[in-house]
Chains A and B, each alone.
Chain A
Amino acid sequence: GAVVSQHPSRVICKSGTSVKIECRSLDFQATTMFWYRQFPKQSLMLMATSNEGSKATYEQGVEKDKFLINHASLTLSTLTVTSAHPEDSSFYICSASRLGSYNEQFFGPGTRLTVL
């Protein structure tokens, strides 16, 4: 159990367009989902925390109007990168925690975003 999927796995888009990334918990209900960004050979940087039905909590320095997060159900969260620019190119990874898992986060496979 504790499988998390992400879609798409990779996306290439033109500058100025918006990109939506989906994160789903496949076999459990996720009380909280997290969105991370990772640069090559670096650690994970938390962007925001989202709980189902409420507004996401963004980390300092992360623009909420740039990175829109919607957590519509206990199994789905979406991250939309609006008006993407080349500097938004990165590896975006979501994770989910389940009720009673006590801080354990289960990660999706990641989405490679390339903005031309």
Chain B
Amino acid sequence: GQQLNQSPQSMFIQEGEDVSMNCTSSSIFNTWLWYKQDPGEGPVLLIALYKAGELTSNGRLTAQFGTTRKDSFLNISASIPSDVGIYFCAGAPINAGGTSYGKLTFGQGTILTVHP
């Protein structure tokens, strides 16, 4: 089955620094999603990407759908302590019929720690 490689696994940064994380896949994805999960909570959708090359921002967050449709990155600018959490990429693969049925493949997650 499809696998997503998400990196880095963890990051320790100072408040105010920018953060970058990415996901790569061995196969093409129809949709890329980025989620943030706080401890003991469910993931919250941050950004959704639907087209190859698409660049979308949500406040200090920017994500891009790679032109090959096999990768995506998420940038966080000017990090703050509340950015702490686990960030997951997720992709909706394309089946043989050229569509996807909503099932997502998740990356392993990036644990972000922000020091004040």
Question: Once the chains are docked, how many angstroms separate the CA of A43 from the CA of B102?
Answer: 18
Chain B nearest CB from A69 CB (Å) reads 15
Q: How many residues of B contact A (CB 8 A)?
A: 25
Nearest-Cβ distance from residue A42 to partner chain B, whole angstroms: 8
Closest to A31 in B: B102
Could you give, for residues 34-46 of chain B, a 1 whenever the CB lies within 8 Å of some chain A CB and a 0 otherwise?
0100001111110
Interface set of A (CB-CB < 8 Å, partner B): 2, 4, 6, 32, 34, 41-44, 46, 49, 91, 93, 95, 97, 102-110, 112
| Given A103-B30, A103-B33; A43-B45 close (CB under 8 Å) | no
CA distance A98 to B95 in the complex (A): 20
- A43–B108 CB distance below 8 A: yes
- Interchain CB contact (< 8 A) of A97 among B42, B102, B109: B102
Q: What are 12 contact pairs spanning A and B, CB under 8 A?
A: A32-B102, A34-B103, A41-B111, A43-B106, A44-B43, A46-B104, A97-B102, A103-B30, A103-B31, A105-B90, A107-B35, A109-B41
Residue of A nearest to B38 (CB): A109
CB contacts (< 8 Å) of B40 on chain A: these are 91, 110, 112
Given contacts A105-B102, A110-B42, contact A44 B88 (CB under 8 A): yes
> In the assembly, what is the distance between CA of A39 and CA of B95, in Å?
28
